[in-house]
C-alpha cells in the first residue's frame, strides 16, 4: 500500500515538470532567434503534449489518451518532414 500513496505525488510532479517544459519551449517558439529554433521548439511542444496525454492516461486509466499521443506523434513527424523538404527546396534555389 505504501507505493500507491506516492502515485498522486508522482503524477503532480510530472504535471508540474511538463507544464514548465511547455512554458519554456513556448518561450523559445515565440522568441527564438532563428527558424530552426522555432521548429525544434514546435517538436518539443508536441513531445511535451504527448507526455501530458500519457500521464493523463495513467491518471484516468483510460488508454484512449495513449492513442491520442500516437496521433500527435504521427502528425508531428509529418510536419517535420515537410519542413525539412521545404528547407531543402529553399537551399537549392
Q: What is the pTM of this model?
A: 0.84
Closest CA to 69 of 56, 82, 86: 56
Q: Count of alpha carbons within 13 Å of 69, Cβ hemisphere only?
A: 17
Report the C-alpha gap between 93 and 88 in whole angstroms: 9
Q: What is the mean pLDDT of the chain?
A: 90
At residue 62, what are phi and psi to the nearest 5 degrees? -120, 110
Report the C-alpha gap between 1 and 35 in whole angstroms: 50
Q: What is the reported pLDDT for 3?
A: 61
The domain segmentation of the chain, as residue ranges, is 8-88
> What is the tens place of the pLDDT at every residue in 7-26?
889 999 999 999 999 999 99
DSSP state of 50: H
> What is the tens place of the pLDDT at every residue in 28-71?
999 989 888 888 999 999 999 999 999 999 999 999 999 999 99
Amino acid at each position: 500500500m505504501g507505493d500507491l500513496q506516492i502515485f498522486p505525488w508522482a503524477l503532480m510532479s510530472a504535471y508540474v515538470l511538463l507544464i514548465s517544459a511547455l512554458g519554456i519551449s513556448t518561450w523559445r517558439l515565440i522568441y527564438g532567434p532563428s527558424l530552426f529554433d522555432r521548429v525544434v521548439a514546435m517538436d518539443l511542444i508536441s513531445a511535451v503534449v504527448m507526455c501530458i496525454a500519457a500521464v493523463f492516461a495513467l491518471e484516468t486509466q483510460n488508454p484512449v489518451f495513449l492513442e491520442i499521443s500516437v496521433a500527435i506523434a504521427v502528425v508531428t513527424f509529418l510536419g517535420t518532414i515537410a519542413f525539412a523538404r521545404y528547407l531543402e527546396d529553399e537551399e537549392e534555389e
